[in-house]
């Protein structure tokens, strides 16, 4: 060590501390399966880093949250990646944590004297779920808004403390400004700090006894060191996971569900996937037993998980010798997965059309306050094409035809039929994406009357385009959604990335190659270490 | 065991007493600093004042026998932000001309119900609660009928007061 190095080390012993931490024997030798815990941690770190970057763009207000998220992911260089990594890492962290929990359960690694490691791990899973739950509404899009609305309803229906709890968590009766700021504070400050603290304790408890190793004592004679043997494997697994996250961000992106719309009765609210099983249970319960689903099942499940070390007390670790525990675990896991899948696929009983029921003239909606002048709210919002598709079926299809391909006959008009929307009149498309939006918006807001056919001078066209915006037949966010869908029909993306930094797919292939080199190199090192052992 | 403690000493040792006293003092300091922080976090916001009645249109425009969507904008206070928020309500006029105004907020968990002409029912998209046109429950998890909102007719114009009711309970209570 250089003179400066030893001077430094004797005053701030970083090197020896790190060496002490990484110099740990792995009973039974290093394994790729041991990387589950460390990869969960690294995924959490991805969330922390991308979360901090997002703080530089995100605005936690009902008026700006959705627009600020869209600005980040479509206008900020690499914003698509920052937001995409955050979105997909959250999903993956839950999956990794569940796999880690499964592994520890099946291998009996939670047993005496590692009960505290298990309990702290369960608390980490709960903390992660809380982070997903509070993060979801922050974008203030349709998905997040309605998830918050249902959650507020659930909180409020809890006996005795419900009203108070809802007030504290949501800052009011219905989701609003204080909901965003409360969830923001929880999501970016309290929950990460709590997760970090519990993780520290999880590590203290883990290092006290070290890894449990294989349950088969015969396999314990192998050994290896945390560094480099296990860390190399962790690196390989994390490189693969990171490549996966970049790939998901580049090829799938993040969902655009449209701006939060409190008036919307057509958006089918579904909770985020980790909570789908609870959603599905709610549907089976009669009203008077509802609290069983909203409070009973989550509390009972948590208690059950926390008590696992005392429910399965035999010193046997091998799953073959713990048949009851294995059967219970498999049944519970299968039930959770089944309920989640059924919940994800469920649709509503009947397709409900909102105010101003479908039809050429939305006359069943009466408006007291017309919208103000200036560009419409809809034209400034990035709508969700998928929700737009559903609205199109209810409101537009009757005249413009399925997917807007061929309009119905319109006697008395110059064209003789309602204009098709795919392909749409090039004049509406214009030169830029903004032209296209503005062109569509004028028709949707104000409606229009087609030119009368010259052959029948006194007749007026049978059908006219109704005004959807000025009459409130559709809300502004709904109009933005329909605009996004009609653009999509014509091959234009309302949610196109304007400034990607590096094109998402290009960036994926660059990282694919670089991460591939890391994986191959580390893999070679692992193989050669195994040979010399 | 500390050096100044003797085995079998029935009295609290000096070191032990100091430990307790320190813990207690630190606790008092922490409480003085911490209680207001927790109180600020847990404070349930004040109950909002009742909304005003808002004119939503002439009664004559509402068809008889079929729920009609009425949209109006009412100023509402959300903590410090005062916003003109759109509200959507359902008006049902019976043969005698009496109008009942139903809140669109599902009494189950607060999603927006909508009238389905096709089904002839109100349908909630979240958990499939279904209501008759008068708001009574047909099926699903909703614990009570749709809530009727306070409304009045003056000079042929219907006006409605927006009220938030607690979802999820069998009895109708405003929040």
The answer to whether residue A364 scores a pLDDT higher than 80 is no
Chain A: closest CA distance from residue B30 (Å): 18
Q: What is the pLDDT of residue A456?
A: 61
The CA-atom distances, in angstroms, between B163 and each of A362, A369, B48, B49, B113 are 26, 19, 10, 10, 16
- Token code pair at residue A110: 């939670």
Put simply, the answer to whether A368 touches B72 (Cβ < 8 Å) is yes
Please tell me which of the candidates B113, B115, B168 has its beta carbon nearest to residue A156. B168
Percent of chain B with pLDDT over 90: 38
The CA-atom distances, in angstroms, between A356 and each of A265, A403, B58, B64 are 12, 21, 17, 16
Q: Is residue A483 a contact partner of residue A378, using CB atoms and an 8 Å limit?
A: yes
Strand ranges across the sheet with B99-102: A365-367, B68-78, B81-93, B99-102
Q: Taking chain B, what is the end-to-end CA distance rounded to the nearest angstrom?
A: 59
Q: Give tens-digit pLDDT for A390-411.
A: 899 888 998 999 999 988 888 8
Q: What is the pLDDT of residue A367?
A: 42
pTM for the structure as a whole: 0.88
Nearest CA to B49 among B81, B73, B72, B78?
B78
For chain B, the residue count is: 175
Q: Is residue B62 a contact partner of residue B91, using CB atoms and an 8 Å limit?
A: yes
Is any Cβ of chain B less than 8 angstroms from the Cβ of A370? no
Element (H, E) at A41: helix A35-55
Chain CA centroid to CA A356, Å: 32
Put simply, the answer to whether A269 touches B126 (Cβ < 8 Å) is yes
Binned at pLDDT 50, 70 and 90, residue B4 comes out as low
Say which CATH topology domain A377-489 has.
Cytochrome Bc1 Complex; Chain D, domain 2 (1.10.760)
Contacts of A269 in chain B (CB under 8 A): 111, 125-126
The answer to whether residue B47 scores a pLDDT higher than 90 is no
Q: What pairing do the DSSP bridges indicate for beta strands A365-367 and B68-78?
A: parallel
**Nearest residue of chain B to residue A284 (CA atoms):** B141
Q: Give tens-digit pLDDT for B125-171.
A: 888 889 999 999 998 888 899 999 999 999 999 999 988 888 888 88
* pLDDT-wise least confident of A295-309, A322-336, B3-17: B3-17
Element (H, E) at B68: strand B68-78
Put simply, the answer to whether A269 touches B125 (Cβ < 8 Å) is yes
CATH node for A28-273+285-315: 1.20.810.10
> Who has greater pLDDT, B142 or B76?
B142
> What mean pLDDT is predicted for residues A82-91?
97
The answer to whether residue A358 scores a pLDDT higher than 80 is no
Chain CA centroid to CA A283, Å: 23
Q: What is the pLDDT of residue A359?
A: 33
Q: Which of B48, B62, B71 to mutate to test the interface with A (most CBs of A within 10 A)?
A: B71
Cα angle A261, A267, A268; round to 5: 140
Q: What is the pLDDT of residue A20?
A: 85
Is any Cβ of chain B less than 8 angstroms from the Cβ of A361? no
Domain segments of chain B: what residues? 1-43, 53-161
Q: Which of B109, B118, B133 to mutate to test the interface with A (most CBs of A within 10 A)?
A: B109
Q: What pairing do the DSSP bridges indicate for beta strands B81-93 and B99-102?
A: antiparallel
Say which CATH topology domain B53-161 has.
Rieske Iron-sulfur Protein (2.102.10)
Backbone angles phi, psi at A374, to 5 degrees: 90, 175
Percent of chain A with pLDDT over 90: 59
The residues that bridge with A26 in the sheet, in sequence order, are A224
Contacts of B130 in chain A (CB under 8 A): 349-350
The answer to whether residue A322 scores a pLDDT higher than 60 is yes
Q: What is the pLDDT of residue B148?
A: 95
Exposure string of A404-438, with b = 16+ CB inside 10 Å and e = fewer, is beebeebebbeeebbbbbeebeeebbeeebeebbb
The answer to whether residue B6 scores a pLDDT higher than 60 is no
> What mean pLDDT is predicted for residues A202-218?
88
Q: What is the pLDDT of residue B57?
A: 84
The answer to whether residue A484 scores a pLDDT higher than 80 is yes
Put simply, the answer to whether A268 touches B143 (Cβ < 8 Å) is no
Nearest CA to A508 among A48, A88, A90, A132?
A88
Contacts of B51 in chain A (CB under 8 A): none
Q: Which of B63, B65, B125, B156 to mutate to test the interface with A (most CBs of A within 10 A)?
A: B125
Q: Give tens-digit pLDDT for A456-478.
A: 666 678 888 988 888 778 888 99
The answer to whether residue A88 scores a pLDDT higher than 60 is yes
Domain segments of chain A: what residues? 28-273+285-315, 377-489
Binned at pLDDT 50, 70 and 90, residue A355 comes out as very low
Q: What is the pLDDT of residue A99?
A: 96
Please tell me which of the candidates B57, B130, B141 has its beta carbon nearest to residue A290. B141
Q: What is the mean pLDDT of chain A?
A: 88
* pLDDT-wise least confident of A136-145, A156-165, A350-359, B26-35: A350-359
The answer to whether residue A352 scores a pLDDT higher than 60 is no
Please tell me which of the candidates B56, B125, B164 has its beta carbon nearest to residue A352. B125
CA–CA dist B88, A264 (Å, integer): 9
The answer to whether residue B26 scores a pLDDT higher than 90 is yes
Please tell me which of the candidates A153, A267, A357 has its beta carbon nearest to residue B109. A153
- Token code pair at residue A168: 């504290």
Binned at pLDDT 50, 70 and 90, residue B80 comes out as confident
CA–CA dist A441, B107 (Å, integer): 35
């Amino acid at each position: 060590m250089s003179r400066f190095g030893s001077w430094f080390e004797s005053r701030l012993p970083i090197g020896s501390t790190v060496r002490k931490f990484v110099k740990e024997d792995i009973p039974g030798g290093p394994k790729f399966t041991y990387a589950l815990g460390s990869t969960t941690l690294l995924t959490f770190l991805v969330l922390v880093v991308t979360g901090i970057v997002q703080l530089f763009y995100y605005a936690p207000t009902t008026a700006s949250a959705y627009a600020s998220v869209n600005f980040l992911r479509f206008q900020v260089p690499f914003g698509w990646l920052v937001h995409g990594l955050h979105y997909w890492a959250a999903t993956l962290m839950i999956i990794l944590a569940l796999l880690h929990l499964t592994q520890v359960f099946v291998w009996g690694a939670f047993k005496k004297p590692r009960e505290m490691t298990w309990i702290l791990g369960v608390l980490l899973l709960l903390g992660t779920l809380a982070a997903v739950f509070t993060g979801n509404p922050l974008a203030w899009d349709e998905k997040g808004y309605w998830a918050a609305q249902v959650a507020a309803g659930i909180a409020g229906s809890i006996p005795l403390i419900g009203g108070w709890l809802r007030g504290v968590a949501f800052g009011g009766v219905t989701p609003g400004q204080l909901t965003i700021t409360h969830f923001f504070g929880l999501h970016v400050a309290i929950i990460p700090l709590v997760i970090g603290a519990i993780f520290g304790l999880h590590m203290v408890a883990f290092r006290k006894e070290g890894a449990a190793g294989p349950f088969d004592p015969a396999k314990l004679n192998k050994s290896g060191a945390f560094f480099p043997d296990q860390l190399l494997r962790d690196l390989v697994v994390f490189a693969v996971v990171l490549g996966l996250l970049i790939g998901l961000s580049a090829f799938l992106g993040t969902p655009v569900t449209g701006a939060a719309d409190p008036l919307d009765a057509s958006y089918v609210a579904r909770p985020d996937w980790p909570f789908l099983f609870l959603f599905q249970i709610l549907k089976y319960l009669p009203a008077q037993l509802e609290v069983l689903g909203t409070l009973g099942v989550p509390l009972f499940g948590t208690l059950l998980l926390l008590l696992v070390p005392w429910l399965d007390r035999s010193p046997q670790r091998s799953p073959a010798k713990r048949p009851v525990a294995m059967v219970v675990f498999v049944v519970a896991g299968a039930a959770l997965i089944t309920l989640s899948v059924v919940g994800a696929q469920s649709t509503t009983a009947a397709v409900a059309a909102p105010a101003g029921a479908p039809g050429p003239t939305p006359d069943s909606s009466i408006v007291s306050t017309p919208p103000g002048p200036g560009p419409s709210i809809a034209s400034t919002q990035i709508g969700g094409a998928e929700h737009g598709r559903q609205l199109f079926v209810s409101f537009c299809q009757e005249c413009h035809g399925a997917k807007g391909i061929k309009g119905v006959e319109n006697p008395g008009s110059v064209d003789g039929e309602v204009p098709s929307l795919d392909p749409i009149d090039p004049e509406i498309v214009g030169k830029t994406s903004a032209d296209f939006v503005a062109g569509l918006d004028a028709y949707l807001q104000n409606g229009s009357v087609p030119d009368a056919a010259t052959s029948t001078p006194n007749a007026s066209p049978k059908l006219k385009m109704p005004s959807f915006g000025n009459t409130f037949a559709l809300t502004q966010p709904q109009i933005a959604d329909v605009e996004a869908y009609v653009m999509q029909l014509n091959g234009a993306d309302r949610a196109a990335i304007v400034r990607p930094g590096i094109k998402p797919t290009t960036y994926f292939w660059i990282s694919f190659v670089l991460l591939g080199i890391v994986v191959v190199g580390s893999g070679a090192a692992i193989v050669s270490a195994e040979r010399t052992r | 065991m500390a050096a100044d403690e003797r085995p079998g000493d029935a009295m609290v040792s000096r070191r032990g007493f100091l430990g307790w006293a320190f813990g207690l003092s630190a606790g008092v300091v922490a409480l003085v600093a911490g209680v207001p922080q927790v109180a600020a976090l847990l404070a349930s916001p004040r109950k909002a004042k009742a909304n005003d009645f808002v004119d939503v249109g002439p009664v004559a425009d509402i068809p008889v026998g079929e729920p009609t969507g009425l949209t109006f904008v009412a100023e509402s206070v959300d903590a410090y932000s005062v916003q003109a928020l759109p509200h959507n309500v359902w008006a049902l006029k019976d043969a005698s001309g009496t109008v009942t105004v139903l809140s669109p907020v599902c009494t189950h968990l607060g999603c927006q119900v909508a009238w389905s002409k096709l089904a002839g029912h109100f349908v909630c998209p979240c958990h499939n609660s279904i209501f008759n046109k008068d708001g009574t429950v047909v099926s699903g998890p909703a614990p009570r009928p749709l809530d009727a909102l306070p409304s009045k007719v003056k000079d042929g114009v219907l006006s409605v007061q927006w009220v938030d009711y607690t979802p999820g309970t069998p009895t109708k209570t405003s929040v």
